Chains A and B, each alone.
Chain A
Amino acid sequence: DAKTTQPPSMDCAEGRAANLPCNHSTISGNEYVYWYRQIHSQGPQYIIHGLKNNETNEMASLIITEDRKSSTLILPHATLRDTAVYYCIVRVGTGANNLFFGTGTRLTVIP
């Protein structure tokens, strides 16, 4: 599976949009981009995934560049409860097996 690069930490003001970048320049055509997050003292939580097209659900939006070498997770109106470590994962197929988490981005939402 392709490797990903994420900034180690980011801050975001409460109520503003949080934009979390992920670089996956070696992604191959059959690899999906997944995002999970991990709130302190909890297990990771699935957020969203996509292949080529932008995706949106009740939690977030995922914007994938046309060349698929990078993506951005957008939390439209960040709240204090969104403070967590966000993991960008690239893997083949749509199953949940063998997710390689890396070290992620620690997002702190500031009141």
Chain B
Amino acid sequence: EAGVAQSPRYKIIEKRQSVAFWCNPISGHATLYWYQQILGQGPKLLIQFQNNGVVDDSQLPKDRFSAERLKGVDSTLKIQPAKLEDSAVYLCASSFKGSTEAFFGQGTRLTVV
């Protein structure tokens, strides 16, 4: 079974630039999550989708972060404009609706300089 695919694996941008990350969840998984993991910390949920609808975006900094899952499958997370403190690994995860287990991708490591 293919896992959660994310791209790119690494990205370096200058502050105030824009960046987008892509996630392809496991086939059939209705629930998709984006997490942010700052170095030395555990992952923190940014947003959760159920199919193409947002379930929880309470911790998403909406002034600069946006995410969409238009067809209920792939998802993109965008940061515009980026700040130095956005340097982190951005993890995408997916699960069956109501499932106990979430499957995570390898993440995208973002460095803002």
> Which residues of A94-108 are within 8 A (CB) of B?
94-104
Query: Per-residue 0/1 for B89-102: is the Cβ within 8 Å of any A Cβ (1 yes, 0 no)?
Result: 00101010011111
CB neighbours of A85 from chain B (8 A)? 42
Query: In the complex, what distance in Å separates the CA atom of A34 from the CA atom of B99?
Result: 13
A43 touches B100 (CB 8 A): no
A97 touches B107 (CB 8 A): no
Known contacts A43-B4, A87-B42, A102-B42, A97 near B105 by CB under 8 Å:
no
Looking at A16-24, A44-52, A61-69, A70-78, the stretch in contact with chain B turns out to be A44-52
Query: In the complex, what distance in Å separates the CA atom of A78 from the CA atom of B102?
Result: 24
Query: In the complex, what distance in Å separates the CA atom of A20 from the CA atom of B107?
Result: 26
Query: Per-residue 0/1 for A27-64: is the Cβ within 8 Å of any B Cβ (1 yes, 0 no)?
Result: 00000001000000111111001000000000000000
Known contacts A97-B48, A98-B48, A43 near B93 by CB under 8 Å:
yes
Query: In the complex, what distance in Å separates the CA atom of A101 from the CA atom of B40?
Result: 12
CB neighbours of A41 from chain B (8 A)? 106
A43 touches B106 (CB 8 A): yes
Interface size class on chain A is: 20 to 34
Query: In the complex, what distance in Å separates the CA atom of A94 from the CA atom of B100?
Result: 5
A44 touches B104 (CB 8 A): yes
Query: In the complex, what distance in Å separates the CA atom of A102 from the CA atom of B45?
Result: 12
Which of B42, B55, B99, B106 lies at the interface centre, i.e. has the most chain A CB atoms within 10 A of its CB?
B42
B91 touches A96 (CB 8 A): no
B99 touches A98 (CB 8 A): no
CB neighbours of B100 from chain A (8 A)? 34, 46, 49, 94-96
Query: In the complex, what distance in Å separates the CA atom of A103 from the CA atom of B106?
Result: 18
A103 touches B101 (CB 8 A): no
Query: In the complex, what distance in Å separates the CA atom of A25 from the CA atom of B107?
Result: 33
B45 touches A96 (CB 8 A): no
A43 nearest in chain B by CB position: B104
